[in-house]
Structure 1
Amino acid sequence: MPSPRLRKAEFLSRYLEQFIDDGFDEVRGQLDRVAEVAWQAYRDERKSPHTVKAGKGFADPDYDLSVDWLRARDAANAARDEHDRADGICRILIVNGSPRSEHSCPGEMSKSWRIAEIARRVLDADDTAVEMLDLSRLASEYGRNIHPCKACYSTSAALCHFPCSCYPNHSLGQTQDWMNDIYPMWLRAHGVFLISPVNWFMASSPLKLMMDRMVCMDGANYDPSSTHGKDAAEAKALELAGWDYHRELEGRLFAVVVHGDVEGAENVRRSLSDWMTSIHMAPAGPRAELDRYIGYFEPYATSHTAFDKDRAVQGEVRNAARTLLEAVRAKRSGKQLIAGAGLEAPRDK
C-alpha cells in the first residue's frame, strides 16, 4: 500500500492549520517552534513518549510499556472491581448513540436523547447507579475523539491489546481518545441500555466507532510485552499456539432501542442485538429489544412533535427500561437464569 508519510512542508501546513484563527497571530513565532518539535516527533515516530519498564507479571519485564496504557489498564481493573462488588447496587449504563445536539450545528436535541432521558427516569432508583454515555459529545465537545479501529484483530487476536494500545499515538496527533474512559463504563455496568437512530440504514457513526474499538474487549491480549508492541509475527505465533478468548462483557444484560424515520429500524436493531450477543452479553427479555418508526415518512421538521404524540413508543421505551432493571435485579440476587450460558462453544470467534 502507498506510504502515508508526509514531507515536512505538508506536515507543518496541516499542523499549523489548527491555529488559523487571527487570535494566534501574535504568537506565530512560538507556534512555529512548537510545530518544529511536533515534526521531529512525527519524523521519529515517537508514539509513546512516556514509558516505564513492564516489570514483574509481564511476558517481557524489560519491555518499555506506555504510561498511557498502564493508566488505562488500572482504570479497567478498578471498573471490574466495581462490577463485582457485592453491595447490591445495580449499575446501569445508558448509551445515547445519536451525534445530534442543540449545542452544535443542528441547534436541536435528538430524539435519541429524549429516549435516553425517559429510560433514565425509570432506571434511576434507590438500588441503582445510572451512568450516561452521550456520544453526541463527539460532535459538540472540544477534545472528544474516538479514533478508528486499525483492525489489529484481523491480523491476529494476540495483536489486539486490552485496553487498546493503538492510541494515543502522540507522533500522529491521535490523542484525546475517549475510549479509555468508555471501557470502564461498560465494565462497571451490570446492564446496558443502548439507543441509536437509523442513519442511512445503519447505526450512527459515533456508535459504530465505539463498537469497532470495543473489539479488544472480546478475546484480545492483556500483555503488550508478549508481542513487543505490534510485532505481527510474534502475535500470530502466540495465537496459533492456542489462544484464550477473554470476554470482558460476558453475562452483562442489555436493552436496545432503535428508532427511524423511513426504513432500516428492524435491521439496525437486529445488528446491534447480534453484536451484543456475539460478545456474550444477554438480552434482558423480549420487551427490552425495540425498533420503531417515529413520524413515518413525515417531515423531519415536525419529528419532535410526532414523538410527543406517540405515547405508545414512549411507553414501550419505559417497558424496555423496566425489563432491563428487572433482569439486572434478578441476576444480582441470583434468581435469573441465562439458559445455555454455561455451555462450551464448539468454536471461538
Structure 2
Amino acid sequence: MSEILILNGSARKKGNTRFLINQLNDVLGKKGIESRILHLHELNIKHCRGCFWCYKGFPLRCVQDDDDMNKIYPKIIEADTIVFTSPIYWFNYSGQLKLFIDRLVALHVEGGHKLDGKRFAAIFVYGDTNVEESGVQHAINSIKHLIQYMKGETIGIVHGTANDIGDAEKNTRLVVEVRELANKICDVF
C-alpha cells in the first residue's frame, strides 16, 4: 500500500493550511490512498546541532534522543510521497518546517540519501496578493533545491493567497489546484 506523508508546518489548528490538507486528503481518501499527517507544531523537534554525529557511523539516527525526530525518521523512509505544507512567514516557510528539514541531515548516508527517488509536493499559503512580495518564491526555490539535492521527483507545488482563517475556502483557484495536485499524486500509484 502506498503512503503519503503530509507535513503540516502551520501552528493554526483550524487555519488555511489545515483546510487545504483536508482537501488533499479528501481526494486521496476517495482514491484509496493512505496518508499520514504530521502536525509539526505538536511535535518536539529541536534544532540541528550541526555535530554530524549522524554522519559518523550512526546513520538514520540523531544524537538528540530527547525530541521526536528519531521516532519520525522511519515514517519518512516508509513514505512514497512527502508533501510539505506551510504558511509563508517572513518570506519563507514556517520555522517548524525549517527545523524539520534541517534534521533530515540524519537521513543522508554514505552513498546517497534515504530520500533518493521519493516523490514530493508542496502547498504554501501567504497573506499578500502579490506573489513577488509574498515571499513564496523563496519557499518554492528552497523546496525545489531540497528535492533536487535528494534526487527526488517534484509532483507539483501549489500556492495562493489565504491569510485570515477561512480565506483558503474562498480561494476557488487554490482549492481546485490542491485537488488537482492530489489527483496527480494518485496518478503515480
Return the TM-score normalized by structure 1. 0.49
| Equivalent of 1:205 in 68, 77, 95 | 95
SS state at 1:283 partner: strand
SS state at 2:112 partner: coil
Q: Determine the C-alpha separation between the residues in 1 that align with 2:160 and 2:170.
A: 14
Q: Determine the C-alpha separation between the residues in 2 that align with 1:255 and 1:261.
A: 21
Please list, as runs of the form range in 1=range in 2, the aligned pairs for 1:17-28 lying within 5 A after superposition.
Answer: none
Structure 1 counterpart of 2:15, which letter?
A: S
How far did 1:164 drift?
A: 2.7
Aligned to 2:15: 110
1:324 and 2:185 equivalent?
yes
Aligned to 2:154: 283
Structure 1 counterpart of 2:112, which letter?
A: H
1:255 and 2:121 equivalent?
yes
Aligned to 2:8: 96
How far did 1:217 drift?
A: 0.8
Q: Determine the C-alpha separation between the residues in 1 that align with 2:18 and 2:104.
A: 22
Q: Which runs of 4+ in 1 moved over 6 A?
A: none
How far did 1:206 drift?
A: 1.0
How far did 1:273 drift?
A: 2.2
In the alignment, is the contact (CA less than 8 A) between 2:62 and 2:69 conserved in 1? no
Q: Determine the C-alpha separation between the residues in 2 that align with 1:118 and 1:126.
A: 13
1:191 and 2:81 equivalent?
yes
How far did 1:126 drift?
A: 5.5
In the alignment, is the contact (CA less than 8 A) between 2:62 and 2:70 conserved in 1? no
SS state at 1:122 partner: helix
Aligned to 1:165: 62
Q: Determine the C-alpha separation between the residues in 1 that align with 2:149 and 2:68.
A: 24
| Equivalent of 1:215 in 84, 93, 105 | 105
Task: Give 5+ residue unaligned stretches, structure 2.
Answer: 129-133
Q: Determine the C-alpha separation between the residues in 1 that align with 2:54 and 2:38.
A: 27
SS state at 1:152 partner: coil
Sequence identity (%): 24
Q: Determine the C-alpha separation between the residues in 2 that align with 1:258 and 1:305.
A: 15
Q: Determine the C-alpha separation between the residues in 1 that align with 2:143 and 2:112.
A: 21
In the alignment, is the contact (CA less than 8 A) between 1:256 and 1:273 conserved in 2? no
In the alignment, is the contact (CA less than 8 A) between 2:16 and 2:166 conserved in 1? no
Aligned to 2:29: 124
Distance 1:178 1:158, change over 3 A: closer
Q: Determine the C-alpha separation between the residues in 2 that align with 1:199 and 1:160.
A: 36
Q: Determine the C-alpha separation between the residues in 2 that align with 1:314 and 1:215.
A: 33
Structure 2 counterpart of 1:91, which letter?
A: E
More strand by share: 2
Distance 1:324 1:135, change over 3 A: same
Please list, as runs of the form range in 1=range in 2, the aligned pairs for 1:330-349 lying within 5 A after superposition.
Answer: none
How far did 1:280 drift?
A: 1.5
In the alignment, is the contact (CA less than 8 A) between 1:94 and 1:120 conserved in 2? no
SS state at 1:98 partner: coil
- Of structures 1 and 2, the larger Rg is shown by 1
Structure 1 counterpart of 2:21, which letter?
A: A
In the alignment, is the contact (CA less than 8 A) between 1:91 and 1:130 conserved in 2? yes
Q: Determine the C-alpha separation between the residues in 2 that align with 1:254 and 1:321.
A: 12
Distance 1:249 1:305, change over 3 A: closer
Aligned to 1:49: none
Q: Provide the aligned C-alpha RMSD in A.
A: 1.9
Q: Determine the C-alpha separation between the residues in 1 that align with 2:152 and 2:60.
A: 19
How far did 1:160 drift?
A: 7.1
Distance 1:185 1:291, change over 3 A: same
Q: Determine the C-alpha separation between the residues in 1 that align with 2:57 and 2:40.
A: 24
